[in-house]
Amino acid sequence: MEISVSFYEIFFLTGHRFSAHGELYHSGMKPKQKPKRRAPDPATLAPKASGTDLVLHSRTIGVLPIINRLIKRCGLREILSRHLPAEDGRNRIATANAILVLVRNILISREPLYGVGQWAAGFVPELLQLREDQLKSLNDDRVGRALDRLFDANFPDLAMDITRNVIHEFKLDLSELHNDSTTIRFCGDYDEFEQPQVRRGKKTVAMRHGHSKDHRPDLKQLLYILTVTDDGGVPIYFTTDDGDRSDDVTHVPTWDLLRQLTGRPDFLYIADCKLASSENLGHIDREGGRFITILPKNRSEPRAMIKTLLESPDSLRWVLVYEVEDDGVLRQQFQTLREEQVTADGYRLLWIHSLSKSVTDDASRMKSIGKTLDDLSQLRDRLQAPRSRMRDRHRVASEVEKILERRGTGNLVAVEILQQEEVKLKQTTPGRCTRDTQFVREVKLRFDLTWQVNAEQLERARRCDGVFPLITNDRSLTAEEVLRAYKRQPIIEKRFSQFKSDFHVAPVYLKEVSRIESLLCVYFIALLLQTLLERELRRTMASREIESLPLYPEARDCRRPTARRVIDAMESISRHRLVTDDGMHQDLYTDPTPLQLQLIKLFGSDAANYGRKS
């Protein structure tokens, strides 16, 4: 449908330049809207301008076509529809569509639930698999009911179904899997959820106080367990558990599910020291699995090694595993004992010495000593105060002991408590002093502190710096292969960092625990899509021998693009619809920048039809 529009009218309406093909260079129209509780009206929330007989409606395209392509490849809509309960005829928006709108929102801008409808009104509705008239129904109540219906699905089956499809579609390598857990904290009492509840015949997890990995023991929490591949750090499985659940009891059921998912037991399972219990390792070993983990310090083998390092370090023979250099400067060096050891359970024990860890351990110790001396100085000031109430030696000694115990420097800092007598003469009777006035002698105790760092103990402590034990039941791997596999464990920490920083998953303010569990499932899907986006882009760059993209400010090179950088780079692509009084319209699309064109092509999309109806 053609509409005759003068250049002056377009410029008057938008204030932007158009190309010779009638396409907008940059929209720049991103007014911030204040969140409100009532359902948003897309006619009022979407940016628009009017003049003469024309109205311009601007909607963002951004990165949505790229995300939609990933959603389609993962088969998310079909899988969600298959696992969700039957649709209620009163729902104007299918539950699967509502869930996927929430996923897109988390990936792009992370609005609160009550702001999802307002956020969606700023985008082209077709790219959200919605019609214009459905936007009014996308409010917090609809999103909440979608989370309720998602809770009715079986989370393990849903996650495994999604993962199987992703493994097949993206050809994921499952030979090495990394597992870890984090805690999700909650602000509020949640007293009724301290015990598992039953919602629509399904048991919920319990929100309880536990060991907080966010260092917030005052808040209740849930345990969130995640497993990722070494191939791009792609999340392949998640589960939630009670907030006070110990990590060591979660590994056996997790490993069993991963074996079911991979279809074989011989994948390499890597986790932290909570895996290293006899029950966990024995189960994996008996079932034909392989593992790598670090041995806790409270085991007999580390205690024996520490004794050897302190008493006879020269008896140990270390050999080089590998080194890392940067511009000719040695940045990292790993060594291991010439002769491998065996644990009490019969597994391989590799003692590793890390140069960088040695430096870090020493710096951490010196920092603790510095904090100890600061605390002792503050305590000394309290003792020297004119009105100090610390007149008892046992109380002073107790304060000193608390400081040394809190900082872990009891054997490194020697503290001496000095006692002084303060004599004061006091009149026995009131009034002015005369020759007949009698005095009594009062003696008050005052204390002082002196301290010094024990140089001998400090030197002994440095002998253990940089040393840590790895255990594995795989005897075919070399020491370097074992070490490099374990050094890839931080890839899962990156996923948790994205989980809590990019997605702001904690703290959570939802009141219903079933909706919270559903929201954590949505976050898993969002994290999966974000990781696949980064993996696909980096793999394509490598295959085309592209070292970097100008994604940083001032077009600086970015060698490992992140999803956030891609989302921000594509944000300005928009659709502008000119509507006449009789309802006729013409769509104008932003001209992509060279960087946007490059990204579109790298993701395998058609630049000419990006964000348009096929």
Q: Same structural domain for residues 169 and 280?
A: yes
Adjacent-strand bridge partners of 420: 446
Q: Tokens 């995640």 belong to which residue?
A: 226
Of 23, 1, 37, 2, whose CA–CA distance to 10 is shortest? 23
Regarding whether 288 and 365 lie in a shared domain, the answer is no
Same domain, 143 and 25: yes
State which of 506, 526, 546 marks the end of a domain: 526
**314 in a domain, yes or no?**
yes
Confidence at residue 11, expressed as pLDDT on a 0 to 100 scale: 35
Residue 498 CA to residue 509 CA, distance in Å, equals: 19
User: Which residue, of 507, 526, 545, is where some domain finishes?
Assistant: 526
- Is 364 within 8 Å of 465 (Cβ atoms)? no
Nearest to residue 592, comparing CAs of 609, 614, 613? 609
Residue 116 has pLDDT above 70, yes or no: yes
Q: Which of 44-48, 273-277, 449-453 has the lowest mean pLDDT?
A: 44-48
Strand partners, 354: 334
Question: Tell me, what's the pLDDT at 154?
Answer: 87
Q: How far does CA 395 lie from the centroid of its chain?
A: 43
* Chain-centre distance for alpha carbon 223: 13
**291, 268 contact by CB (below 8 A):** yes
Q: What does the pLDDT look like over 321-380, one tens digit per residue?
A: 999 988 888 889 999 999 889 999 999 999 999 999 999 999 999 999 999 999 999 999
Backbone angles phi, psi at 367, to 5 degrees: -65, -40
Residue ranges of the alpha helices (H) in 423-478? 455-462
Question: Does residue 43 surpass a pLDDT of 80?
Answer: no
Which pair of tokens denotes residue 399? 């304060």
Same domain, 234 and 329: yes
Task: Note the pLDDT tens digit of each residue in 9-18.
Answer: 333 333 333 3
The CATH code of the domain that includes 167 is: 3.90.350
Residue whose C-alpha is closest to residue 160's, from 261, 229, 80, 78: 261
Whether 286 maps to a domain, the answer reads: yes
* Per-residue pLDDT, 329: 86
Q: What is the pLDDT of residue 48?
A: 62
Query: Do 83 and 46 touch, CB atoms closer than 8 A?
Result: no
Residue 27 pLDDT > 80: no
* 54 pLDDT more than 90: no
Query: What's the average model confidence in pLDDT over 386-412?
Result: 91
Same domain, 410 and 471: no
Report the half-sphere exposure of 364 (CA within 13 A, side-chain side): 12
- The pLDDT mean for the chain works out to 85
Q: Are residues 271 and 138 in the same domain?
A: no
Domain shared by 414 and 340, yes or no: no
For residues 312 and 308, give the distance between their C-alpha atoms in angstroms, rounded to a whole number. 5
Would residue 304 count as lying in a domain?
A: yes
Q: Are residues 217 and 330 in the same domain?
A: yes
> Do 92 and 178 fall within a single domain?
no
pLDDT of residue 20: 33
Q: What is the model's pTM?
A: 0.82
pLDDT of residue 10: 33
**Same domain flag for 180 and 304:** yes
pLDDT (tens digit, 9 = 90+) per residue, 223-250?
Answer: 889 999 999 999 999 998 888 888 889 9
> Is residue 3 over pLDDT 80?
no
pLDDT at 189: 72
Provide the 10 A C-beta neighbour count for residue 125. 18
547 within some domain: no
For residue 583, the enclosing domain spans 1-151+572-614
Kindly state whether residues 93 and 225 are assigned to the same domain.
no
Q: CA-CA distance, 220 to 217, in Å (whole number)?
A: 7
Label residues 314-341 b or e (16+ Cβ within 10 Å = b): eebeeeebeeeeeeeeeeebbbbbeeee
Q: Which of the pair, 94 or 444, is modelled with greater confidence?
A: 94
pLDDT of 520 > 50? The answer is yes
Is residue 548's pLDDT more than 70? yes
The mean pLDDT of 384-396, rounded to a whole number, is 86
Q: What is the pLDDT of residue 44?
A: 57
**Residue 605 in contact with residue 66, Cβ under 8 Å?**
yes
Using the predicted structure, report yes or no on whether residue 111 has a pLDDT greater than 90.
no
- Per-residue pLDDT of 67-85, as tens digits, reads 999 999 999 999 999 999 8
Residue-level pLDDT at 50: 59
Instruction: Evaluate whether residue 533 is within a structural domain.
Output: no
45 band by pLDDT with thresholds 50, 70 and 90: low
What pairs with residue 260 in β-bridges?
none
Number of domains the chain contains: 3
Residues 288-301 have a mean pLDDT of 94
pLDDT digits (tens, 9 = 90+) for 488-505: 998 888 887 776 666 666
User: Residue 52's pLDDT band (boundaries 50, 70, 90)?
Assistant: low
- Whole-number pLDDT of residue 438: 80
Q: What is the largest CA-CA distance in the chain?
A: 119
Same domain, 384 and 368: yes
Whole-number Å distance between alpha carbons of 597 and 572: 12
Classify residue 538: in a domain, yes or no. Answer: no
Across 208-222, 409-423, 434-448, 593-607, the highest mean pLDDT is recorded for: 593-607
Residue 532: inside a domain: no
Decide if 21 is inside a domain. Answer: yes
Q: At what angle do helices 155-170 and 513-543 cross, to 10 degrees?
A: 10
pLDDT reported for residue 5 = 38
Q: Are 408 and 395 in contact (CB under 8 A)?
A: no
Q: Looking at residues 257-278, what average pLDDT do you find?
A: 94
What is the rounded CA–CA span in Å between residue 212 and residue 222? 10
| Rounded average pLDDT over 432-452 | 84
Per residue in 409-437, pLDDT (tens digit) is 999 999 999 988 777 777 788 888 888 78
Q: What pLDDT is stored for residue 15 in this prediction?
A: 38
Token reading at 443: 């003696």
Helix (H, G, I), strand (E, B) or coil at 29: coil
